[in-house]
Chain A
Amino acid sequence: MSGLVLRLAALVALASVACATPRGAPGALVDIRPEERPAPDSDEAGLWMEMDRVEESLRTSGHLVTDASVNTYVRDVVCNLATEYCGDIRLYIVQTPHFNASMAPNGAMQVWTGLLLRIDNEAQLAYVLGHELGHYLRRHSVQRWRDARTKTNVAAVFGVLAAAAGQGYAGSLAQLVALGSVLQFSRDNEREADEIGLELMVKAGYDPREAAKIWSALDKERRAGKDSQPLIFFATHPPTDERIETLTSLAAKAYTPDRDWADGREAYVRAVRPRRATLLRDDLRLRDFARTEVLLERLLAAEPGSGQLYFFQGELYRLRNGAGDPARALGAYERAAATGAAPPETYRATGLVLMRQGDRERARAAFGRYLTEAPEAEDKQMIQAYMEQLR
């Protein structure tokens, strides 16, 4: 896991963990108000200052997605949910294949590109963002901060902040491990954030039945994968059966057939699709093939016959190169090509598999097709050399 991911994860962990104080119980904090800033001499102000430092390093990290259209899109969804709090929230879309979103107590919201890749529609995005807004509105981080101090876990909390501010690699991971023991106390807060997320999405007109779907889908991926790092959200948001049942039940209560509910699939596709090849390539770079296989199957179920998705299926099998994978890869590339909308790299990849199999003639033809489709390809000289060798 990269240093950035660890630092962001540490920030996320602190930003989104919750204490065991239920809504309205003694000790619960008053909801934050629009444009509210903590009193300068308060512990909350200290927490904000630390978060401001972390946010500064995030802002200059070079990992942010700067594309205006996707930033505008996600920001509009945030503001649609947050309404009068919109001006208090600063959105950062971070390019990393891991599934995550978080909300720091000072209003810094992160959305990782692994999340944008995995959701089916805007309604699911709204639920996740609404959930994070719930933590912010309820000041869960501040509650957690105070709770931790009373439980002599101050070192762990400070450690997370230090890690988030850019301390050592090992220190960051160790803090995540330390947090694991604290996180099991956060169920009530998670439940509360889920309730708020659902309330906000319903208020904005999104179909609440979409909320539970994302958890089920991610859980399948997690079970297939070699590790849970790409789904780091689970560290702080366990996808328990209880959670899915609660969300389903809340959605059933909120859903009324007479209302015109939106899932926002079209708007989501319009905003994210232009970046999807990059997001899929980022995910494949992790080479957690069984997990990516599940992801691609799900994406294909939502978009049958996609040349791009067939191509990436082929890429998965070509890179894995296990028993039967070359044939699977060629089959996927053929399906991609048959759509008429396959990227030119489909033919290069076909050539690479065939060349490895010793099928010189077909490999040469595939490389030739690649250079026809992409005459200015970056690897043109290499492909021409292969074609010479294959004569």
Chain B
Amino acid sequence: MTRTTRSVLWLALAILLLGSCARYTLVEPKPRTIADLYTVDPQTQWSATTFGKWEIWTVDGSGLEAVQFLTGLNDGQPLFQTADAQKRMKFQKSMSPSDLAELLADGLTSVGAQNVTITNLRPYRFGAADGFRCELTFLNSYGLEKQGLAAGAAVNGRLYLVLYTGAKVHYYDAHRGEVERIIESIRMR
């Protein structure tokens, strides 16, 4: 089987999986547990779905804006469920916040983002864990300008992230305040 054929088969599988996972449920404005590790306390309604290790919340559609919760990645597991990422974008528990920010940038590139720039990387208290925060900008695969922010920490050797991305025009700013409140509301269980 050629490499390209394998890629096509993989892609078909991914699309099947996407189709089966694209069911949304309502997130009510009340405390909600993420990954059995911590709770967040949203103040507005969101629609939620899951894909792989990610729980994804959106209001207007995930192509416009999305909060993505990485629900615990073990050492050696890939950040995103793509062929490239599975081969190369793997979490290692020895990674520093700087390494993790690079992993995020490279992982986003592997799923179609371009010109990913990470800014203002800084320490952040993620619930009760020592973690990091940063902001980011990138273009999606169609050239749409996106903005984002991320907060994360490695807890007991597993990586947890909250990644918020949205179209630079309107959508990112429209929900940023609520996302900031959600991140600040993180409490370890």
Using a CB–CB distance below 8 Å, which chain A residues touch chain B?
A: 1-5, 60-63, 95-96, 166, 169-170, 173-174, 176-177, 180, 226-228, 285-288, 319, 321, 348, 352, 355-356, 378-379, 381-382, 385-386
Contacts and interface: CB of A to CB of B under 8 A. Distances in A.
B98 A285 contact: no
8 contacts: A2-B112, A2-B113, A4-B112, A4-B114, A227-B3, A381-B120, A382-B132, A385-B122
A140 B114 CA distance: 32
A385 B123 contact: yes
B75 interface: no
A63 B105 CA distance: 17
Contacts of B96: 352, 355-356, 386
Contacts, number: 94
Contacts of A286: 84, 88, 106, 109-110
* Pairs A-B, 8 closest by C-beta atoms: A62-B143, A3-B141, A61-B143, A287-B88, A2-B112, A381-B122, A379-B121, A2-B141
A1 B11 CA distance: 11
Contacts of B99: 352
A4 B105 contact: no
B98 A379 contact: yes
* Chain B interface category by residue count: 35 or more
B4 interface: yes
Nearest to A3: B141
B63 to A, nearest CB: 12
B15 interface: yes
Given A352-B98, A378-B118, A62 B145 contact: yes
A180 B4 CA distance: 10
B109 A382 contact: no
Nearest to A378: B119
B7 A62 contact: no
Contact of B4 (A62, A169, A176, A348): A176
B140 to A, nearest CB: 8
A382 B97 contact: yes
B37 interface: no
A96 B114 contact: yes
B165 interface: no
Interface string B88-108: 110010101111011001100
Nearest to B112: A2
Interface in B8-42: 8, 11-12, 15
Contacts of A176: 4
A2 B122 contact: no
Given A61-B142, A62-B139, A96-B114, A177 B5 contact: yes
Interface of B: 3-5, 7-8, 11-12, 15, 84, 87-89, 92, 94, 96-99, 101-102, 105-106, 109-116, 118-123, 132, 139, 141-145
B106 A170 contact: no
A384 B114 CA distance: 29
Contact of B114 (A95, A226, A352): A95
Contacts of B7: 173
A227 B83 CA distance: 11
Contacts of B132: 382
B92 to A, nearest CB: 7
A169 B105 CA distance: 21
B106 A287 contact: yes
A170, A348, A382 pick with most chain B CB within 10 angstroms: A382
B112 A177 contact: no
Given A287-B88, A287-B106, A382 B122 contact: yes
Contacts of A287: 84, 87-89, 106
B103 to A, nearest CB: 9
B92 A321 contact: yes
A391 to B, nearest CB: 15
Contacts of A378: 118-121
Contacts of A227: 3
A173 B139 contact: no
A352 B15 CA distance: 38
A86 B132 CA distance: 52
B139 A63 contact: yes
Given A3-B142, A5-B141, A385-B123, 16 more contacts: A2-B113, A62-B145, A166-B142, A170-B11, A227-B3, A228-B3, A285-B105, A286-B109, A287-B87, A352-B98, A352-B99, A381-B120, A381-B122, A381-B123, A382-B121, A382-B122
Contacts of A2: 111-114, 141
Given A96-B114, A177-B4, A348-B98, A4 B143 contact: yes
A288 B112 contact: no
A382 B115 contact: no
A348 to B, nearest CB: 7
A238 B12 CA distance: 27
A225 to B, nearest CB: 11
A378 B97 CA distance: 14
B101, B105, B106, B121 pick with most chain A CB within 10 angstroms: B121
B81 to A, nearest CB: 14
Nearest to A63: B143
Contacts of A381: 120-123
A352 B88 CA distance: 20
